[in-house]
Amino acid sequence: MKLGVFVSDYRTGADVLDRLTAEKLGIILVGNGVYNATVKENGKSSSVLEKPATFYVLVEDLESRGFSAANVDSRVKVVNYGDLVDLIFNDYEKTIWI
C-alpha cells in the first residue's frame, strides 16, 4: 500500500509513525508539523525525519509561521496546495492524519 501521512503537530506523532508499514510512505508536514522540517534542538533534527519515508512540507504553512524554503531540512521537499492535491490523487492510495 502507498500511504500518505499528514503530520500536523510538532511534539507528537513519531511513535505512531514507528508503527506504520507501507510499501511507500509519504510524510506530509502541515500546520505546526512544519516545525519538524525547520527546527533543530541541541543540534539535532526532528526524529520524524529519521523515518524511512519521503517528506513534504506545505509552503503556505511554512510561510504563515515565518519560515521560508531556505529554512527547510534538505530531506524535505517544499510543496504548495496544487502539488499536495497531485500527491494525494497520484502518489498515495490512502491518507491518514495524525
Three-state SS for 5-53 is: EEECCCCCCHHHHHCCCCCEEEEEECHHHHHHHHCCECCECCHHHHCCC
Interval 58-90: pLDDT, tens: 999 999 999 999 999 999 999 999 999 999 999
Res 12 pLDDT > 80: no
What is the predicted pLDDT for the residue at 42? Answer: 82
What is the predicted pLDDT for the residue at 15? Answer: 77
What is the predicted pLDDT for the residue at 86? Answer: 95
Domains in the chain, number: 1
Res 17 pLDDT > 90: no
Task: Name the pTM for this structure.
Answer: 0.92
* Domain range for 74: 2-97
CATH number at residue 72: 3.40.1260.10
